[in-house]
Structure 1
Amino acid sequence: MITDPFSISILSAGRGWLMAEKPSGLSVQEEQGQDLCSLLLSRINTDPDLRNKIDCDPGFGVHPVHRLDRETSGIILLACRPRTFSYFAMQFEHHKVRKRYIALLHGDLPEPAAEDGWGLWTWPLSKEAGGRLHPEGRPRAVPSETRFRVLRRSAHYTLIECDLLTGRKHQIRRHARLAGHAVVGDARYGTSRSLKFLREEMGFIRLALHSFSLQVQPPGAAAPQVFQSPAIPPEILRLLEEDQ
């Protein structure tokens, strides 16, 4: 369990907002006092320089502008003032934000046929999450699109980059499962057999999905900016490199 607010990396910040890198296994805002928002608020309140830079509204606190599952690590945008939250939320609503992820999948994912190397998953998904047997979910499914390209391969895994064109719950995880190549370490859409092997034989106990970059326009900026994670989590790379 993460209890030190200063162990969380803050990648960028401005008046009313900050971009942080969430560790895998940490809830964003579902465990008052122990979640990401609580830890960041504690850090803001104890760091004078950060407090002055962000100018957090004490009556508003820290709130995520978009979702990031507990199991997923990586970049997340948070707002600390109501008007700033609304400003960023409008960009998401009008599809002006670009989110990219890195995922390690089970198996040998076929190379996309397109010349640019990008493929497209288009299985419709319900707005509510499904499960391993029915990842598309229920009730009515809606159009969902995930672009992907292969970065690296090993004997049993494929590392991909994903570009979300829509924003369904667990979209990458569900699309990967429907493609027959579940995300490594996925307790919901993967198999208990693979989870047991990863845990007992490889010492791997997390979901191999990482929010790698976020393109958004901060307040006062003349154009959108890309905020990028410093690196792919080393435990994901280690699993890939040791699988020879």
Structure 2
Amino acid sequence: MTSIPISEDQNDDELFEHHSFVVDKGQAPLRIDKYLMNRIENATRNKIQSAAKDGSIYVNGTPVKSNYKVKPLDNIRVLLEHPPYEYLLTPEDIPLDIVYEDDALLVVNKPAGMVVHPGHGNYSGTLINALIYHFENLPNNSSDRPGLVHRIDKDTSGLLVIAKTEQAMTHLSKQFFDKTSEREYVAIVWGNIKEDEGTIEGHIGRHPKNRLQNTVFEGDEQDKGKPAITHFKVLERLGYVTLVSCKLETGRTHQIRVHMKHIGHTLFNDERYGGERILKGTTFTKYKQFVDNCFKILPRQALHAKTLGFIHPTTGETMQFDSPIPDDMQQCIAKWRHYATHMQ
């Protein structure tokens, strides 16, 4: 997303691209305001209609009104006079849980609820706002995000490595790209997984109907997604839920959340993928109250980036880090463990 002049008759005033989409081949005619609501996080219909009224929504290079019906392969761009907020980075004095630090890199333990980098609806309080306050001259990654080698979702807790030098950024990014870094997550999922361990392989891409979700594409459609591999191992069976370890061979957006849902074991309390409803168990009111209490204790998807391993970009040493499962997940596990023992 860079600033791009749209036409020569604008007196060289620059407009900044905030969003761009190419409409899928199979898209049925749909009003553009409705179409964009499903694709832009935290965008209301009013906001989209105002942008269209201001002439800020372009289809194939021409401004359109909010009642324009999108067609397959339309090129849609939302262009505004100010840069996207995620590029207006403000240092913020937010404490960081630093697990390790040297001249080349640092490893942080991110709490659940903290967004990694500014984006739609989250322009402050992010990990990057904290990083640029505490550290000067962090190298930019390919998306102009200071220090960031990889990321985890807002409501996922756990470990991230941050590059402090250009050399470290290049070296570490290559390890993640080449899939030589090691990452293990711990998750609570709905249902009792039959196998003790297994591998999920399924191409992951944007959900065709809900752009805020990803999904698995199989067979003839797999070219709509990117290859993704997750290895899982059951750590503990807790009645109607299972505690699992997941090791990533690839790093797709929402990978564990999408893969576990794909095999019928949605993450516990994962609102975006439907895990905030009771998916397994009884119809008893007492059980419903128990699950509601678990949701209150753990008001997010049950996912923690527990271990992280990589080769140090300067010393060549193998670095391995482990973070404890956070308190909210521990309490939820303890409640299910107690419930499971009384189910017998």
TM range (shorter): 0.7 to 0.9
Q: Does 1:20 align with 2:104?
A: no
Match for residue 228 of structure 1? 322
Following TM superposition, by how much is the alpha carbon of 1:78 offset from its aligned partner in structure 2, in angstroms?
1.2
1:35: which partner in 2? 126
1:123 to 202, 207, 210: 202
Distance (Å, rounded) in 2 between the aligned partners of 1:59 and 1:20: 17
Three-state SS of the structure 2 residue aligned to 1:90 is helix
- The one-letter amino acid paired with 2:94 is P
Partner secondary structure for residue 214 of structure 1: strand
Alignment of 1:199-238 (within 5 A): 200-202=292-294, 203=296, 204-229=298-323, 231-238=324-331
Return 5+ residue gaps in structure 2 as ranges: 1-91, 280-287, 340-344
The one-letter code of the counterpart of 1:226 is Q
Secondary structure in structure 2 of the residue aligned to 1:193:
coil
2:271/2:300 contact within 8 Å kept: no
- Structure 1 residue 192 displacement after superposition: 4.8
Runs of 4+ aligned structure 1 residues displaced above 3 Å come to: 58-62, 128-134, 194-200
Shift of 1:81: 2.7
Give the deviation of 1:219 after TM superposition: 2.7
Per the alignment, do residues 241 and 78 of structure 1 end up closer, same or farther by CA in structure 2, a change over 3 Å counting? Answer: same
What are the Cα deviations for residues 201-243 of structure 1, in whole angstroms up to 9, with x where unaligned?
Answer: 33131111010111111232233211111x1112112112212
The residue identity in structure 2 corresponding to 1:234 is: D
CA–CA distance in 1 between the matches of 2:129 and 2:214? 34
TM-score (norm. length: structure 1): 0.80
Larger radius of gyration: 2
Distance 1:162 1:226 in 2: 16
Deviation at 1:20, TM superposition (A): 0.2
Where 2:277 maps in the other structure, the secondary structure is helix
Residues 84 and 210 (structure 1), Cα distance of their counterparts in 2 relative to 1, 3 Å cut: same
- TM-score using structure 2 length: 0.58
CA contact (8 A) 1:107 1:156 kept: yes
**CA pair 198-78 structure 1, distance change in 2 beyond 3 A:** farther
Q: 5 Å matches for 1:1-244?
A: 5-6=94-95, 8-30=96-118, 31-44=122-135, 56-57=136-137, 62-112=146-196, 118-126=197-205, 128=206, 135-136=215-216, 140-194=224-278, 200-202=292-294, 203=296, 204-229=298-323, 231-243=324-336, 244=339
Give, as a single letter, the amino acid of the residue that structure 2 aligns with 1:165. Answer: E
* Cα distance in 2 for residues equivalent to 1:129 and 1:169: 12
Structure-2 residue corresponding to 1:47 = none
Gapped regions of structure 1 (runs ≥ 5): 45-55, 113-117
Please state how far the C-alpha of 1:68 moved relative to its aligned partner.
0.9
- Return the alpha-carbon distance in structure 1 between the equivalents of residues 184 and 191 of structure 2: 21
Contact 1:150 1:160 in 2 (8 A): yes
The CA distance in 2 between the partners of 1:59 and 1:142, in whole Å, is: 28
* More RCO (CA 8 Å, sep 6+): 1
Kindly tell me the number of residue pairs found equivalent between the two proteins: 223
Query: Is the 2:139–2:169 contact (alpha carbons within 8 Å) kept by the matching residues of 1?
Result: no
Cα displacement (A) at 1:198: 8.0
Distance in 1 (CA, whole Å) between partners of 2:214 and 2:111 is 28
* Structure 1 contact 157–240 (Cα < 8 Å) conserved: no
1:57 maps to a residue whose letter is N
Percent of pairs with identical residues? 27
Q: Over aligned residues, Cα RMSD in angstroms?
A: 2.8
Q: Given residue 335 of structure 2, which amino acid in structure 1 is its aligned partner? A: E
**Residue 33 to residue 94, structure 1, CA distance change in 2 (3 Å):** same
